[in-house]
Amino acid sequence: MHTLLITGPGGAGRTTVAAATALAAARQGRRVLLLSGDPGAPDDRLTGLLGPATGPPAQIVPGLRAVPATRGVRVARIDSGEEFRAELVTLQERGASLIGMLGGRPLGAEELTELPGSEQFALLRALRRAASAPDVDLLIVDMPPLHQAIATLALPAQLRRYLARLLPAERQAARALRPVLAQLAGVPMPAQWLYEAAARWDEELAAVEAVVESPATELRLVAEPGPASDEALRTGRLGLALHRLPVASLVANRTVPRDSDDPWVAGLAAQQRKYADQWAAELTVVPLAHLGRDPRDPGDLALLADTEAIAPRAAAVHRRAWAVEDRLAEDGVLVWAVPLPGARKADLDLIRRGDELLLTAGPYRRIVSLPSALRRCTVSGAALADGELRVRFTPDPQLWPRER
């Protein structure tokens, strides 16, 4: 299955582009599932563009229902509130003995209101479920705005790292003692409940991480050409590169005619052309015309879906590796090359902590494990050139003695 995640700066028209992409792909005979994952997008937006449902909702995989829309496109919407209530009720049921031992009272489903951040978890669960749906060739996800989308997609790997640090290997000893402790106390021990819950979370996070990092998953950015979008994209692409999330294409949305006799429109067209050409130097840019109004019905959507190249090609993701260059003979160092297109020196910071490197690029931060060869070295410098951060490592003589 090909998975296309669509995001961009706020107000760029992500939902419209997601719907147009879905319709264009369905016209080619592909079986399309459109997942609406933006909590800020009104439900009637997609309904207005795709038209009313052509059939009743149906479960496509456990926990995910979809309705058929125009030309065979199926639409699934995420209810983060319902997802939050169901997960918390299940968690309480699993920990009922512990809650009773502590004198607590479980909360009823009708008492629960979703907490901040629940939208991210609901989106990730829906993404994992949708990626296993049968009879789907193309999964299109209408993601939240760019900054929030990056944080959401980076969440599984970050949480798995936290779990590994907070619940280290000695949990095996706790497992061995569980039967004895539980028999003495008469109730399941907190350690048992905690580690079993952590194991379930880690398994689910690993499944989501596998979908995000799959060679069949890529991103499509949406932006209206101009200075504000240019800066938002530059910063956002830093975050995407830091988390090694590849971009398949960029839709230059709401482009105006270049041959207009109106001086104001001609000036706007020239500005849009300037930024679209800049973006095209590094990305595949798909122009999408301004209809003169906000798209509002299936007729408008059909016009946008006719745009050349709006239908995605088969996924051919290339995740550029962070290569380690052996320059020991020439300079006595190893160099770790980290691609960060559009980065500026002021955006960057790095800190070595044990066998990990904490990298900061603009508002984004990632902790990465060092390759085995670099763990026996010390950081001796870094430089930024041509969109690539080159970190120099000098071998530690005590850990990596030189040959005599």
* Of the candidate ranges 110-119, 170-179, 236-245, the one whose mean pLDDT is the lowest: 170-179
Asked if 73 and 50 count as a contact pair (C-beta separation under 8 A), the reply is yes
pTM: 0.86
Same domain membership, residue 377 and residue 272: no
Residue 200 pLDDT = 78
Which residues lie closer than 8 Å to 117 by C-beta, 6 or more apart?
none
Same domain membership, residue 174 and residue 77: yes
Summarize pLDDT for 243-256 with one digit per residue, the tens.
999 898 999 999 99
Residue 187 pLDDT = 47
Report the alpha-carbon distance of residue 19 to residue 77 in Å, rounded.
13
Report the alpha-carbon distance of residue 331 to residue 129 in Å, rounded.
50
Same domain membership, residue 332 and residue 248: no
C-alpha count within 13 angstroms, C-beta hemisphere, residue 315: 22
Q: Residue 378 sits in which domain range?
A: 324-395
Candidates 73, 79, 105, 77; CA nearest to 92 is 105
Residue 124 to residues 63, 71, 178: CA-CA distances in angstroms? 13, 27, 32
Number of domains in the chain: 2
**Mean confidence (pLDDT) of the chain:** 83
Summarize pLDDT for 196-234 with one digit per residue, the tens.
767 777 888 899 999 998 888 999 999 999 999 999 999
Residue 193 pLDDT = 60
Query: pLDDT confidence of 102, banded at 50, 70, 90?
Result: low
Summarize pLDDT for 128-183 with one digit per residue, the tens.
999 999 989 999 999 999 999 999 999 888 888 887 777 665 554 455 555 544 44
Is position 388 within any domain? yes
1 pLDDT more than 50: yes
Residue 120 pLDDT = 84
Same domain membership, residue 248 and residue 123: yes
Report the alpha-carbon distance of residue 70 to residue 61 in Å, rounded.
21
Residue 258 pLDDT = 83
Residue 119 to residues 116, 200, 211: CA-CA distances in angstroms? 7, 20, 18
